[in-house]
């Protein structure tokens, strides 16, 4: 862990459906991503930054308790959290991570998440200064919100073992047989 003026950093782990906004230089935000996306945003002049971690792109949930899984909800909370602490929209910069394709043969939710995050930030007038999206690897991410430094470690891919379905035992030929009880 890095230290700031001999003071150890406090690590805050962000899980799916969470976000965090901080003004403390001694905080590092961390998460682990697969197909999910994390937006890391900051306003250097206001000395405020944060991170979110969303599971699905922009559509809103049918039930309010599921809203925190969606990018639209978490992006709004993150940006509004910065603005409430003195950030100005024109100074906010973003870094995007995640959006991997974790399972072949299924829809590419990671690409959908990445496209949503880019489009959301573009519509909000927030510039993306760096991104590492897509691929086939999960990522472990640490973000230092006041300096804007991000450190990413790619995780090994998990081999996908596709086993054939179990063979069924052949049905016995019951034609012409009689069973007595």
Catalytic residues: 36
Token look-up 């430094």 returns 149
Distance, C-alpha 166 to centroid of its chain: 36
Strand boundaries in the chain, DSSP class E: 3-4, 7-8, 10-13, 18-22, 27-33, 37-43, 48-53, 93-98, 127-133, 139-144, 149-154
Length of the chain as a residue count: 181
DSSP state of 25: T
d(CA 135, CA 181): 63
């Amino acid at each position: 862990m890095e230290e700031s003026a001999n003071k150890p950093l406090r690590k805050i782990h962000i899980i799916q459906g969470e976000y965090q906004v901080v003004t403390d230089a001694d905080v590092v935000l961390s998460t682990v991503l697969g197909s999910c996306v994390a937006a890391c945003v900051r306003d250097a002049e206001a000395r405020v930054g944060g991170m979110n971690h969303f599971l699905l792109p922009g559509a809103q949930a049918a039930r309010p308790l599921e809203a925190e899984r969606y990018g639209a909800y978490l992006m709004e909370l993150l940006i509004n959290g910065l603005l409430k602490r003195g950030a100005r929209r024109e100074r906010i910069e973003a870094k995007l991570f995640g959006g991997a394709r974790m399972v072949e043969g299924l829809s590419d939710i990671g690409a959908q998440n990445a496209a949503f995050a880019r489009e959301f930030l573009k519509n909000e007038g927030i510039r993306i200064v760096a991104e590492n999206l897509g691929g086939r690897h999960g990522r472990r991410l640490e973000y230092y919100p006041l300096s804007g430094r991000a450190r990413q470690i790619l995780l090994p891919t998990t081999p996908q073992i596709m086993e054939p379905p179990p063979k069924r035992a052949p049905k016995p030929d019951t034609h012409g047989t009689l069973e007595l009880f």
